[in-house]
Amino acid sequence: MTGTELIKSGKAIIGIEFGSTRIKAVLIGEDHAPLASGVFDWQNELLDGVWTYSLESVKTGLQTSFADLMKNVESQYGVKLETAAGFGLSAMMHGYLAFDSNDELLVPFRTWRNTMTAEAADRLTDAFDFNIPQRWSVAHLYQAVLNKEPHVGRIAFITTLAGYVHYLLTGKKVIGAGDASGIFPIDPATCNYDSDMLARFDTLASGTELTHKLAELLPVIVGAGECAGTLTEAGALLLDPTGTFRPGVPFCPPEGDAQTGMAATNSITPRTGNVSAGTSIFSMIVLENKLSAVHREIDIVTTPCGAPVAMVHCNSCTSDLDAWFGLFGGLLSEAGVEMPKGKLYDMLYSLAAEGAPDCDGIISYNYYAGEPVTDVKNGTPLIMRSPDSAMNIRNFARSLVYSCVASLKAGMDILTEQEHVKLERIYAHGGFFKTPHPTQDFLAAALGADVTLMQTAGEGGAWGIALLAAYMSNKEDGESLEAYLSKRVFADMKESTVSPKQEDIDGINAYMKKYISGLPAVRASVSE
């Protein structure tokens, strides 16, 4: 069946992901390959000290990215996109969207990027004997309780960004298991919110303005492969105000970007993992066994099927590198040399590959936001170097690239060195790897493991959630998600793998010693 016939017959699948800087919509065919895409660029804003996106920008981005997809479908295939066999929504995990009984947002959306819930995260971690990071939804909720914020008594529902958009389009207050695991801890035995921890939370919150049991406020978890609702008439008009796209399309459970990254890299079985790197960077390592201790640097979340995953999440990745590379581009422009962004990045990455393996003592801290993994409270990018460091463009560029993976390495070393977690396959994806050399090489050195980029690495989470929607639509009775991905999607996928070079391993380890020793100075530079 041709792409035109597939689209016209309504057998294609749609996925939309709300990333930190881009909303992307993708249409895939029966072979799971992308047919067309649409995008909308957006940015968070710092409003009264809170990193946020307005709900109006969420709706605008949804409509614009989908309109771009529809336009590109008609341009490429000569038919209008009117329906689909399945639909999936994904977004940045965590954060805090709290609504009253009239579905009115009570406070501006507090995103994953905020580090304002330290007291709540500490108390909940102690009460649960389970690491609760600052960005988790329950930490934001309990911090609001501790702060006695006026809106607490009016809360009727809390959800994630993916859960909110799914509710707008389907009317269902549901969530996928993976996204739910960034709201509240999941019991792997039941693939539901941990009932013992729910009871402990209710005890902690008793006597406060929170008038509901926590379980009453949370979205219902729907398993991978199940239908989580259908596009309503109101949802169809919100999605496509022209009325071309029709209601009735089935939706898979909304998921987090971490889970769509796992689906997009076929890394949902034990000893596999993936690293997603863009504005933030995080690793997802599927566990064989429970960790021996609670580590504040390690989050325990789940796959889309509810299996435990060790997650190292770092708030900053490419933002500072982009700023410096932009500065270099601006300098060239002032000198009368106009260089396209892609060529500029390729040049600077090539220079980074030629730098000293340890950057000759030039250390870069890329903290645009606070970083719990290294206990840095607020964002303050910083450069340190020794007086005798060779301050040249090659060493400096290499340090900027190293900084993108340094915090991740600090967390991953806990997993591999203290918990002895074995890594067999690490897949990488995200904007950081658009130029794979040397980013792929440096990540391999940082993790001490082979790193693989797939042919589809650039497709990202929108493709990953489309795969989960395809699984819902096409799975056979008893067919697991693991089997579906391995046999139907990735069996013949092209990929490229690099092994870590000992010179790079030694270099980044030397870099990290100075990086860790300099952290007290970084913390001292941050104003509370």
DSSP string, 11-78: --EEEEEE-SSEEEEEEE-TTS-EEEEEEEE---EEETTEEE--HHHHHHHHHHHHHHHHHHHHHHHS
Q: What is the pLDDT of residue 113?
A: 85
Pairing status of strand 255-256 against strand 425-429:
unpaired
Tens digit of pLDDT for each residue in 130-189?
999 999 999 999 999 999 999 999 999 999 999 999 999 999 999 999 999 999 999 999
Q: Are 139 and 124 in contact (CB under 8 A)?
A: yes
Rounded to an integer, the average pLDDT of 452-460 is 72
- In which band, very low, low, confident or very high, does the pLDDT at 456 lie, cut at 50, 70 and 90? low
Residue 14, domain member (yes or no): no
Q: Is 60 among the domain residues?
A: no
pLDDT in tens, 75-129: 999 999 999 999 999 999 999 999 999 999 999 999 988 889 999 999 999 999 9
Instruction: Name which of 52, 49, 209, 91 is nearest 142 in CA terms.
Output: 209
Task: Work out the pLDDT band at 423, boundaries 50, 70, 90.
Answer: confident
pLDDT for 492 equals 84
Average pLDDT, the chain: 95
Confidence band for 422, pLDDT divided at 50, 70 and 90: confident
CATH number at residue 405: 3.30.420.40
- What's the rounded mean pLDDT across residues 19-37? 95
Alpha-carbon dihedral sign for residues 206, 210, 213, 215: negative
- Summarize pLDDT for 208-222 with one digit per residue, the tens: 999 899 999 999 999
pLDDT tier at 457, thresholds 50, 70, 90: low
- Domain with 451 in it: 256-455+494-527
Share of the chain above pLDDT 90, in %: 86
pLDDT for position 425: 80
Cis amide leading into 500 (omega within 30): no
| Least confident interval from 283-292, 367-376, 421-430 | 421-430
Rounded Cα gap, residues 331 and 320, in angstroms: 17
In-domain check, residue 357: yes
Would the pLDDT of 257 be above 70? yes
Question: In this structure, what are the phi and psi dihedrals at residue 221, rounded to the nearest 5 degrees?
Answer: -80, 130
Number of domains in the chain: 1
What's the maximum distance between 2 C-alpha atoms anywhere in the chain? 67
Please state whether beta strands 220-222 and 22-28 pair in parallel, antiparallel, or not at all (unpaired): unpaired
Which pLDDT band, with edges at 50, 70 and 90, does 403 fall under?
very high
The answer to whether 69 touches 81, Cβ cutoff 8 Å, is: yes
Q: What are the C-alpha distances in Å from 344 to residues 23, 435, 441?
A: 25, 11, 19
Distance between CA atoms of 250 and 268, rounded to whole angstroms? 24
The predicted structure's pLDDT at residue 115: 85
The answer to whether residue 118 sits within a structural domain is no
**First vs last Cα of the chain: how many Å apart?**
60
The per-residue pLDDT for 331 is 97
- The structure's pTM equals 0.85
What pLDDT was estimated at residue 476? 95
pLDDT of 459 > 70? The answer is: no
Mean pLDDT of 523-528: 80
Rg of the Cα atoms in the chain: 23
Inside any domain, residue 36? no
Sequential DSSP letters for 385-410: --TTS---HHHHHHHHHHHHHHHHHH
27 in a domain, yes or no?
Answer: no
Q: Which residues pair with 163 in a beta bridge?
A: none
Where do the H-state alpha helices sit in 181-256? 195-205, 214-217, 233-239
Categorize the per-residue pLDDT at 372 as very low, low, confident or very high, splitting at 50, 70 and 90: confident
- Whether 419 is in a domain gets the answer yes
Determine the average pLDDT of the residues in 442-455: 91
Q: Does 311 map to a domain?
A: yes
| Mean predicted confidence (pLDDT) in 385-403 | 97
Predicted confidence at residue 507, as pLDDT, reads 98
For the chain, count helices (H), then strands (E): 18, 22
